């Protein structure tokens, strides 16, 4: 195989891989998977979850890497694994934003970055509420 023939073959393989034919490489699907956590539920009337009963109430789940917040009566849940370097347990909630205590990144209650050094949003989980029971998945 000469050099030109090799390059033609290599280009064809690359195109096939990017089309999802072969090993499935080059696909953006892996980046677009919805976030997931092991599903869990809690009673919002029980401590510490009763902090979520009022607008602006928040907490870091005691056993999971999940931030929870009440935004206008809706409970929202985000990963607590910071998109900067992965700290997950040093959060506070000053001025209505999540603040990672490791290096000071802040995130809105939509999970979007408000201030760096993080540059990626916090992944959000699905939340369903039935009466006093809140389910996160």
Q: Which residues bind ligand FES (CB under 6 A)?
A: 82, 84-85, 87, 100, 102-105, 117-118
3-state secondary structure of 87: coil
Q: How far apart are CA 77 and CA 82, in angstroms?
A: 14
16 vs 87, beta carbon nearer ligand FES: 87
Instruction: Supply the minimum distance, in Å, between the C-beta of residue 106 and ligand FES.
Output: 9
Residue 4 DSSP one-character state: H
In whole angstroms, the minimum distance from the beta carbon of 60 to ligand FES comes to 13
Nearer to ligand FES, 61 or 84 (CB): 84
Beta bridge mates, 134? 42, 129
Nearer to ligand FES, 44 or 111 (CB): 111
- CB-nearer residue toward ligand FES: 84 or 129: 84
Cβ nearer to ligand FES, comparing 68 with 100: 100
Establish whether the linkage from the previous residue to 117 is cis, with ω within 30° of 0.
yes
Output the smallest distance, CB 102 to ligand FES, in A.
4
- Cβ atoms within 10 Å of 100's Cβ, excluding its own: 25
87, 102 Cβ separation under 8 angstroms: yes
- Please identify which residue in the block is written with the tokens 């080059």: 26
The least CB distance from residue 56 to ligand FES, in Å, is 22
Q: Which H helix or E strand runs over 11?
A: helix 3-18
Least distance (Å) between residue 42 CB and ligand FES:
25
């Amino acid at each position: 195989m000469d050099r030109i023939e090799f390059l033609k073959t290599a280009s064809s393989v690359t195109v096939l891989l990017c089309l999802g034919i072969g090993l499935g490489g080059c696909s953006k699907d892996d980046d677009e998977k919805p976030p997931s956590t092991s599903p869990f539920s809690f009673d919002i009337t029980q401590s510490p979850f009763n902090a979520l009963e009022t607008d602006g109430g928040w907490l870091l789940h005691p056993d999971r890497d999940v931030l929870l917040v009440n935004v206008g009566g809706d409970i929202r849940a985000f990963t607590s694994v910071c998109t900067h370097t992965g700290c997950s347990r040093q959060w506070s909630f000053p001025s209505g934003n999540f603040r990672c205590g490791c290096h000071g990144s802040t995130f809105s209650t939509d999970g979007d970055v408000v201030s760096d050094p993080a540059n990626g949003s916090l992944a959000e989980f699905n939340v369903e509420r039935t009466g006093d029971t809140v389910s996160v998945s």
